[in-house]
Structure 1
Amino acid sequence: MSFVLIDKPRPHVTLITLNRPERMNAMAFDVMVPFREALEEVSADNDTRVVVITGAGRGFCSGADLESSGRIPGIKGLTRTSIARRSMEILDDVILGLRKMHQPVIGAINGPAIGGGFCLSVATDIRLASETAYFRAAGINNGLTASELGISYLLPRAIGSSRAFEIMLSGRDVDAAEAERIGLVSRTVPGEKLLDECFDLAERIIGFSRVGVEVTKRMLWSGLEAGSMHSHMEAEGAAQLYVRLTTQNFEEAIIARREKRVPEYRD
């Protein structure tokens, strides 16, 4: 059985599905290692313009597998401490891999996103949720910290510091309606429509130029880390000039608007 499925449901859209529904797609290494490899493979697929990530069955991802962590590669001869560090690096690579993908990544949050699954969801570029989805920073409930896999960096930037502190320190559930209200997800839709809504959004993005979309994604992520507004604005300006001066996209957009047709971007 493959724990990670890769499909192309529509032209230029790739769907990656965590496929261990009997364990709510928990983050065992038997799942996360091939998932990390799938992210690298799809990022390098130049036919793919947008990526959608979801979970099989009724859950998105339930976080750490409390029954079996699965096989961890490359740990022969290591101490317990070193194994723990290598394990965390694998999971870190998954989160960072989402950010490094050339394509925008849409999270189709079809059910519970708990612990590491919450972190995984927040690491996607855009999130749409089914009405049955909910989010929980579970580490605090298990005697650990709620801070893992970048969530204490990403969540305050997504929803504001006060809400992030409250959600992570209380360990409470955030249902889909609240997630939409506070901006954790872009919108909530009925579960049976979730993937189609994600694919429709993907097709809208695909209608724009590849370089314009990819550079915009880079600038948005860069803005989250910018040391100052001034330095980030300089980076934005350089990116805009790069696209403007090295492509004919702007000219094509103007001509297409004048001719009342869809632009045909070459870059």
Structure 2
Amino acid sequence: MPDPGVPTTLRLEEHDEGVVVLTLDRPDRSNAMTVTMFEELEQTSRVLDRREGLRVVVLTGAGKAFCAGYDLADAERLPELGALGMLDLQEHAARALAAVRGLRVPVIAAVNGAAAGGGLSLALAADIRIGSSRARFKASFVTIGLSAGDLGTSWLLPRLIGPAAASEFVYTGRTMEAREAERNGLLNRVVDADELLPAAFELAGQIRRNSPGGVQLSKRALHANMEIGSYAAALELENRGQALLTRTADMAEALEAFRTGRDPVFGGS
């Protein structure tokens, strides 16, 4: 019997100080999602969010795929569920992806292969996406009788690639290859397969060199201002964040480093 405290569908590894790699670890099933994976994604994200010194999370998949979406072997039981049972399962999955997106630190998705259905949704939940040349995306919902209004896809996708491109992509259920995804803004950039994790780690290192509080409140502001439609409300949020950060030791350290011509050493306080 596996230890309930140890994930069975995920793998956590420390890459560098403050940088953690979260790997979906069901390579024999193309890292397809199950109820257990949803539980473990939510729980692991909550634990990571409380980890002192965490600076960046790199999210990727084991083997050749990023995530093939909901495991169709598990999906066979879905028609047996009543409306409330299905709603409970859907909300369970949504909480898991919301927990990933809600991590206080940046999440970099290193998309190593296919990201379909819920796997696409998970990639969208990251702050930044770097793709291998083997990465490909498929909004497969409509091909199995479901809606692209799933796990945040209908909200995040149009904001990344625009409403018209999102509509064409989800209504056809077609596959979007890596280079098209880069052109459309779904991927920040595409690299060779063997350069994917090194590129993600290099980016994580660039982020890690900056003020932890500054990065975290920047993420909070970017997320919050996607939720509101008022310039005045955005300014109010930004003003509070900047006022808070000027009270930190890291801000004083940055000013002193600038004055003396050296690189700052941030402590996260």
Fold-level match, TM-score > 0.5? yes
CA gap of 1:141–1:70, structure 2 versus 1, over 3 A, is: closer
Q: 2:229 aligns with which of 224, 227, 230?
A: 227
CA distance in 1, matches of 2:204, 2:198: 10
How much has 1:44 moved relative to structure 2? 1.1
Q: Which residue of 1 aligns with 2:202?
A: 200
- Give a deviation string over 1:67-126, Cα, whole Å, max 9, x none: 125999xxxxx9632221111111111121022211111111110000010011001111
Question: Letter of the aligned partner of 2:194 in structure 1?
Answer: E
CA distance in 1, matches of 2:76, 2:234: 42
What TM-score, normalized by structure 1, do the two folds share?
0.92
Aligned length: 261
Q: Which residue of 1 aligns with 2:129?
A: 127
How much has 1:37 moved relative to structure 2? 1.2
Aligned pairs for 1:105-116 within 5 A: 105-116=107-118
**Structure 2 contact 10–24 (Cα < 8 Å) conserved:** yes
How much has 1:60 moved relative to structure 2? 0.5
What TM-score, normalized by structure 2, do the two folds share?
0.92
CA distance in 2, matches of 1:178, 1:88: 30
How much has 1:29 moved relative to structure 2? 1.2
- Give a deviation string over 1:172-207, Cα, whole Å, max 9, x none: 111110111111111111111111111111111111
Q: 2:166 aligns with which of 156, 164, 167?
A: 164
CA distance in 1, matches of 2:160, 2:112: 19
- Structure 1 position 138 matched with structure 2 position 140: yes
In the alignment, structure 1 segments of 5+ residues that lack a partner are 73-77
CA distance in 2, matches of 1:198, 1:41: 22
- Structure 1 position 34 matched with structure 2 position 40: yes
Aligned pairs for 1:1-267 within 5 A: 2-69=8-75, 80-244=82-246, 246-266=247-267, 267=269
CA distance in 1, matches of 2:213, 2:195: 29
**Structure 1 contact 136–174 (Cα < 8 Å) conserved:** yes
- Give a deviation string over 1:111-146, Cα, whole Å, max 9, x none: 000001001100111111100001111011112212
**Structure 2 contact 41–97 (Cα < 8 Å) conserved:** no
CA gap of 1:94–1:70, structure 2 versus 1, over 3 A, is: farther
CA distance in 1, matches of 2:44, 2:73: 24
How much has 1:35 moved relative to structure 2? 1.9
CA gap of 1:22–1:79, structure 2 versus 1, over 3 A, is: closer
- Give a deviation string over 1:128-168, Cα, whole Å, max 9, x none: 11000011110111122122011110111111111111111
CA gap of 1:36–1:70, structure 2 versus 1, over 3 A, is: farther
**Structure 1 contact 27–69 (Cα < 8 Å) conserved:** no
How much has 1:260 moved relative to structure 2? 3.0
**Structure 1 contact 29–70 (Cα < 8 Å) conserved:** no
Q: Which residue of 2 aligns with 1:75?
A: none
**Structure 2 contact 64–113 (Cα < 8 Å) conserved:** yes
- Give a deviation string over 1:24-66, Cα, whole Å, max 9, x none: 0111112221122111111111132110111100000000111
Could you list the runs of 4 or more consecutive aligned residues of structure 1 that deviate by over 4 angstroms after TM superposition? 69-72
- CA RMSD of the aligned region, Å? 1.9
Q: Which residue of 1 aligns with 2:5?
A: none
**Structure 2 contact 41–100 (Cα < 8 Å) conserved:** no
Question: Letter of the aligned partner of 1:145 in structure 2?
Answer: S
SS in structure 2 of the partner of residue 7 of structure 1: strand
Question: Letter of the aligned partner of 1:66 in structure 2?
Answer: L
Fraction of identical pairs, as percent: 36
